[in-house]
Chain A
Amino acid sequence: MSTQGLPSPVAAPPPSKGRGEGLLSAGRRFQGFLFVLPALLVLAIFLIYPAYYTIRLSFYEGDFKFNPVHWLGIDNFKNLLTNDPDFLDLSKFPPSGALINNLRWVVVYISLALIIGLALAVLAVRVRYERAVKAAIFVPMAISATAVGIIWLFVYSPNPDIGVLNAVVHAFDHGVQPIAWLGRPGLVNYALIFAYVWASTGFVMVVLSAAIKGIPTEIMEAARVDGAGEWNIFRRIMLPMLSLPLSVVTIWLFINVIKVFDIIYVMTGGGPGTSSRVIAFTMYEETFHNGRPGYGAAVAVIMLVLIAPVMVLNVRRFRSERVIA
């Protein structure tokens, strides 16, 4: 089924430098469009247009059919940031709300996953059972957040015959009542964060471990011969050489944290009360339960704004890589 020699319905594009240029007729170039067209159409209709619609909707009050019905200007955003204690409440200390919870996620989740993942990447290469340890840490990466949620609901269960964590606490101190890890507003976020760290550390470990193995051994041998201790080798040689993979992993963890939803939906439903809501959860709740699509769209736009710097970074990085190549 050859489409060779297809008459081109468009004028030949002006010649430009590129791969395999000289051999291509105008018809063949037009075929380039045909190859990318289906993908571009799908993206335009189902990704770009919806993003535009959502941005527009965020300035309106929406109805139950998700139509924009009443122009509000920036009122949705104003309400979210100043008048919605479930989203952002700065009036008391410590501040609370979904945005603050998400900030908590950013700080605690990213640092825990980075520290544990880096420690494992550095230490596991020194033992013979490296593969076994790595497999144990990595397996949760394959599991869906729904299953991770059920797994950790069991771990945190206040029923001491189910919850292994309470069983451990009980073994140390028989007098302690079982702790409702997910039932206390002060604990619930950290319990959720740890479950998600458990699920994501494998990724950090694998990326960093691959990078460590790429560091030429001569450098470290030379440092050892010169009498450098292991800690100094780690701090002054490994860490600087890992800066690029560390930044890639940090960005990945950041995007993960801004989008986190599934595990909270399964484990707490945002509760108790509203104490474990995050941005993505608020978007779902306002749009699909409270029937406020305009307000929910404003939350989605805030997510987009938080992620936009990473988009710019990705595009920049890609461009500079190509200049070097």
Chain B
Amino acid sequence: MSTVDQAVPLTTQTRSERLVRFITRTPLHIALIAIGVVWLVPTVGLALTSFRKPVNINSSGWWHSLTQWDWTLHNYGSVIHATGMGHAWVNSLIITVPATILPLTLGALAAFGFAWIPFPFRDTLFLLIVALMIVPIQTSLVPLLKLFANHWHLNNSFYGIWIAHTAFGLPLAVFLLRNFFITLPKDLIEAARIDGASNLAIFRRIVVPLSVPALASFGIFQFLWVWNDLLMALIFVSDPSKQPMTVRIPYLLSTYGQEYNLLSAAAFLLMIVPLIVFFALQRYFVQGLLAGSVKT
């Protein structure tokens, strides 16, 4: 082993050259590490605060906790039970899952039509969808609320928010998936057509299985978008027992503004889901975000 290493020197640098290189690169390291620290400190501070006893939080900064070593899970117990954040967390999930699956399904179906079945005005309709991608939510809030509350009486259920998120997620879904579907091999789909496969069968057996990366990217993007959304939940879910965490936390802030133990634990509960998604599915997540850059 070691003889091999010696036999194939990777660099021809001498020791002094390395030293010079190290010194000239020191500012680079300092700058990068400084920015990294600035970016990490806020989140780490919140996370550490959430595991400290209220007494300690109010008597010393969270940075002291690194030496005190006095942790507790008590804050999470209080915030989940006493303030109803556990319930709100479940609401977030109830809102997010259908609001991800619906636009994914409708979007994939439409994208298949746009990509592989010619029909009149196809291109015009598709350009319309491209334009709709960045319509600000604000232009739809009032009419949708009127529709849901005054006409359909949906404002005390989850239907309204599901529908609203579906409508706002759809243009991006159609756009992304259509652009992916179109890159699938044409021969494959035509061969299936010649064999007599129906459009639906081609969609289910060929297009969907081959498009898992694109479906996953959009699915993750939409999941995080809905999970993290505040404004639409604020408008469309008026029943407090159905509100998601993003809406309940500002309420917590207005009633327990100085209870840092509760606030930090609640915020951490809200963050934990996106963080898990981020670390588990980083590749799809980054792809989804890059692809979603045309939206917001």
Contacts and interface: CB of A to CB of B under 8 A. Distances in A.
Interface of A: 1-4, 13-14, 16, 18-21, 23-24, 28-36, 38-40, 42-43, 45-51, 53-55, 57, 62, 65-67, 116, 119-120, 123-124, 126-127, 129, 132-133, 136-147, 150-155, 160-162, 164, 167, 198, 201, 203, 206-207, 210, 248-249, 252, 255-256, 258-259, 261-262, 265-266, 280, 283-284, 287-288, 293, 296-297, 299-301, 303-304, 307, 310-312, 314-315, 318-319
Nearest to B193: A23
B201 interface: yes
A1 B199 CA distance: 11
A151 B46 contact: yes
Contacts of A167: 61, 63
B210 interface: no
A142 B137 contact: no
A146 B230 contact: yes
B228 A144 contact: yes
Contact of B109 (A36, A49, A319): A36
24 contacts: A13-B119, A18-B122, A20-B116, A20-B189, A42-B167, A47-B135, A120-B35, A123-B31, A127-B32, A137-B36, A147-B267, A147-B271, A151-B267, A153-B263, A164-B61, A198-B39, A207-B290, A252-B294, A262-B230, A283-B138, A287-B141, A304-B136, A314-B134, A315-B131
A203 B141 CA distance: 27
Contacts of B115: 19
Contact of A259 (B136, B228, B285, B293): B136
Contacts of B114: 36
- Majority DSSP secondary structure for residues of B touching A: helix
Interface residues of B, number: 112
B167 A46 contact: yes
B142 A162 contact: no
B21 to A, nearest CB: 11
Interface of B: 25, 28-29, 31-33, 35-36, 39-43, 45-46, 49, 57-63, 106-107, 109-110, 112-120, 122, 125, 127, 129-147, 150, 163-164, 166-168, 170-171, 174, 182, 186, 189-190, 193-194, 196, 198-201, 203, 224, 227-231, 234-235, 245-246, 249-250, 253, 260, 263-264, 266-268, 270-271, 274-275, 277-278, 285-286, 289-290, 293-296
Contacts of A146: 228, 230, 245-246, 249-250, 267, 270
A132 B36 contact: yes
Given A36-B125, A132-B36, A314-B134, A49 B143 contact: yes
Given A43-B170, A206-B286, A36 B277 contact: no
Given A160-B61, A311-B134, A142 B235 contact: no
A170 to B, nearest CB: 10
Given A20-B116, A311-B131, A255 B296 contact: yes
A261 B231 contact: yes
B42 A32 contact: no
Given A150-B253, A301-B139, 11 more contacts: A20-B193, A40-B125, A43-B167, A46-B140, A136-B36, A144-B270, A151-B42, A152-B42, A207-B293, A284-B138, A299-B138
B118 A29 contact: yes
A318 B126 CA distance: 10
Contacts of B166: 42, 46
A151 B42 CA distance: 6
A16 B118 contact: yes
A169 to B, nearest CB: 13
Contacts of A151: 42-43, 45-46, 267
Given A35-B109, A46-B163, A266 B249 contact: yes
Q: Which among B32, B110, B164, B286 has the highest number of chain A CB atoms within 10 Å?
A: B32
Contacts of B28: 123, 126-127
A46 B117 contact: no
A316 to B, nearest CB: 10
Contacts of B200: 1-3
Nearest to A42: B167
Contact of A47 (B25, B168, B275): B168
